[in-house]
Amino acid sequence: MAKDPTIARAFPARVKLADVARAAKVSLATASRALNQPEIVRDTIRKRVEDAVQMLGYTPDRMARALSSGRSHIVGAIVPTLANAIFADGVEALQDGLAARGYTLLLANSRYDPHKELQQIRAFLEHGVDGLVLVGDSFDPRLLPLIRQHGVPTVTTYVCTSKNGLPAIGIDNGQATHKMTRYLLELGHREFGIIANTALPNDRSKARLDGMRLALAEAGIALAADRVVEVAMPSVAYGRRALGSLLTACSAITAILCTNDAVAVGALSEARRIGRSIPRDLSIVGFDNIEIAAESDPPLTTVDVPANEIGRLAAEFLVHAIEGRHIPSETKLAASLIVRESTGRALQLA
């Protein structure tokens, strides 16, 4: 009964390439070629196939195509979290770039957990991704061997060099904070505090912290341990709390360096709450230049991370790599200092 062809089925059998071939009166092989390499098929025949596709509403089964061709046209990306706008923006640009080139994006977030990252990469590989986009340059030790074993083209992002040999597209985090720190030194600051989200594995933040330390060391400033507060997540709440302990530890601090904007905005808000005037009593800087940075009170001095450009280039380069083209191994984008109103000259001890 269920086989009675006069009864409409809930899910009509999906039309397949064989149906198209039959309707166009060509072989399966020719139908396939007409779709994938139209230039090698005679015009009249190609037309017939195209008409049949149209008429039957054929949509190719990419899993089958992938299985036989070895190309899935899927790219996998894994970011620490989408809650950080810097990654959300990058992913958005990445997806746009991939879609424009006929690729679809498999996305996962690791929540800064290398093991979770590894698991997700495994899943991606099982799904036969053609390429992979990572963030940063520190991974579970099993990650890179796994990727190499599968021979999947991979790029990493938000850093501009990779000790792991992956093509990198991003900024020089250490150099950027070095520049930022020098800027504060030039404003006369000598008493620094740092809020760094380095409690969780995060090589970008570590590099930023190193850049700050280097600039201070060059200026002859040694940083006591209690001047650096490590927080786990780049959240406003953590920044707020960190400012408290920093000022408790050392009330002489006149400048607070943060490894990202969310934390800096939290610090700003807490400083205001306890009656510190910014930038008169205290200068605070962030990193990332996410939208919130321009809207805080006062607007935050920070470093711009070109997330859209990173995502855009990651898509472009990765697809090139998949197609066997050569791509640059280190792509360093500008990370400009954005001076707003959260920084000023150091309060002079009269």
Binding site for DNA (CB under 7 A): 14, 16-18, 26-30, 32-33, 35-36, 40-42, 44-46, 58, 60-61, 64-65, 67-71
Dist CA 3 CA 132 (whole Å): 45
The label of the residue with tokens 């992938």 reads 66
- Cα–Cα distance list, 47 to 40, 331, 342 (Å): 13, 44, 65
Among candidates 208, 165, 167, 212, which has minimal Cα distance to 305? 208
40 binds, among DNA, a second copy, none (CB under 5 to 8 A by kind): DNA
Among candidates 97, 142, 125, 108, which has minimal Cα distance to 316? 97
Dist CA 342 CA 79 (whole Å): 30
| Vertex 106 angle, CA 166 and 134, to 5° | 20
Per-residue binder mask for a second copy (CB under 8 A), 165-204, x = binder: ----------------------------------------
Minimum distance, C-beta of residue 343 to a second copy, in the bound complex (Å): 18
The one segment of 18-26, 250-258, 280-288, 291-299 that binds a second copy by CB under 8 A: 291-299
Per-residue binder mask for a second copy (CB under 8 A), 103-142, x = binder: -xxxxxx---------xx-xxxxxxx--------------
- Of 66 and 214, nearer to DNA (C-beta) is 66
Residues 6+ apart with CB under 8 A from 39: none
Is there binding between residue 149 and a second copy (CB under 8 A)?
yes
Dist CA 335 CA 171 (whole Å): 6
Is there binding between residue 74 and a second copy (CB under 8 A)?
yes
Minimum distance, C-beta of residue 148 to a second copy, in the bound complex (Å): 9
Cβ count near 306 (within 10 Å): 20
Minimum distance, C-beta of residue 196 to a second copy, in the bound complex (Å): 20
* Region class of 249: left (phi > 0), else alpha (psi between -120 and 50), else beta: alpha
Is there binding between residue 269 and a second copy (CB under 8 A)?
yes
Task: Name which position in 27, 54, 59, 329 contacts a second copy (CB under 8 A).
Answer: 59
Minimum distance, C-beta of residue 88 to a second copy, in the bound complex (Å): 4
The one segment of 27-35, 84-92, 208-216, 318-326 that binds a second copy by CB under 8 A: 84-92
SS3 191: coil
35 binds, among a second copy, DNA, none (CB under 5 to 8 A by kind): DNA
Is there binding between residue 303 and a second copy (CB under 8 A)?
no
Cβ count near 106 (within 10 Å): 18
Contact 166, 331 (CB under 8 A): no
Q: Which residues bind a second copy (CB under 8 A)?
A: 10-12, 14, 57, 59-64, 66-67, 72, 74, 81-83, 85, 88-89, 91-92, 95-96, 99, 104-109, 119-120, 122-128, 149-151, 235-236, 262, 265-266, 269, 291-292, 294-297
